[in-house]
Amino acid sequence: MPEQKDYFKIKAVSSHSLGYFEESPLTFKKFLEEELEQDDKRYLDFGRQVHMRILEPKKFKESYTVLNYELPKSEQQKQFCTTYVENPHLKKEDRLVLAYNTAYSTKGKSDDKILQDAQDMYDKMKDYLTYLTKAKKYKEVLTFAKKQKIDTCFTNAYNHKLANELLFDKEIPEQGVQTYNELELEWDHPLHKNVPCKSMIDRLIIDTNNKIIKLIDIKTTISLKTFKESVYNFNYHRQMAFYSLAIYWYIKNVLNIEAEDYKLEVYIVAIKSAPLHDVKVYKLDDDMLNKGFDEIAYLMNRLSWHFDTDLWEYSREYYEGNGLDKLE
């Protein structure tokens, strides 16, 4: 049986990477080759955790543990704790100093000051360090309060009549209805087969009885009031169009279903990230999706040229003209 690929390591165009291509071909290429320095995106963790709690409850349970005491609040604190735990062979003072030197700048600090600061950090993180030392399998840690927020999002989605219908499988599976969660696809664009594509679909429902395909995506959002603006600001319309192309490829080439016979419905389940974690379900209309399809057609056409020529330093206009770029 072939080894399953790590989706995030697959070097292919995703809806997310299209944004990097809009910046510049070189930015896209660096992102694809994992050579681009990434911003700290811990603010996305909550959305990822809500996704997993709803769509992959077993994985959520396996991936997280709840600890109701002081936890690392920064990457430096995490690094300090990890380094300390990974060096049990050292004397305590040496472990403390190594952990502190690895995580923090010590410029201008005396050895005594470094040791004191390291000891202070140890005292602050003592319960967490004990957990890390004893844990048989490392899990990401949630505070009790954070877990309650995630559970509230789950409950509100479950209690919402349409969100429930879209996101949760029935106890007795319906004949002729197939459901998929976190479906990972490598696929070909119908017009640009030289451009490798990939997508991870939150949820897909294929109803062969009524000839309906339902594409569902979960979004956490700061505001439900301004969510329509978010759809365009964060290119959700384009993302859903990109996913639609992936799904049509999948049902035609993998499931051997005539896609033309099916009606496509695209839904976003929006969950407010702040209390009361309200839930709303939106159906994307044809105008939104068509705008997304048009943008993808334009970007894929340009991407195809760069894949063919393997020229990435500048734009196509640069290479074909006098170095002048078009203001768009």
Which pLDDT band, with edges at 50, 70 and 90, does 77 fall under?
Answer: very high
Query: Is 90 exceeded by the pLDDT of residue 134?
Result: no
**Average pLDDT value for residue range 211-219:** 97
**Residue 2 in this model has a pLDDT that exceeds 50:** no
Band the pLDDT of 41: cuts 50, 70, 90.
low
Please state the rounded mean pLDDT for residues 276-295: 97
Question: Other C-beta atoms within 10 Å of 315: how many?
Answer: 20
CATH of 7-54+162-317, one of 1.10.3980.10, 3.20.10.10, 3.90.320.10, 3.40.50.150: 3.90.320.10
Q: What is the mean pLDDT of the chain?
A: 92
Residue 126 has pLDDT above 50, yes or no: yes
- Ordered by start, the domain boundaries in the chain are 7-54+162-317, 69-142
Residue type, 58: K
| pLDDT tens for each residue of 168-211 | 998 888 899 999 999 999 999 989 999 999 999 999 999 999 99
How is 233-270 classified by DSSP, letter by letter?
HTTHHHHHHHHHHHHHHHHHHTS---GGGSEEEEEEEE
Local structure of residue 283 (DSSP, 8 states): E
Is the pLDDT score of 49 beyond 70?
Answer: yes
Q: What is the DSSP letter of 89?
A: T
Closest by CA position to 99, among listed 89, 114, 112, 84? 84
Q: Look at residue 125 and tell me whether its pLDDT is greater than 70.
A: yes
What is the pLDDT at residue 43?
56
Residue-level pLDDT at 42: 60
Residue 1 reports pLDDT greater than 70: no
The secondary structure of 25-39 as a DSSP string is HHHHHHHHTT-SPPP
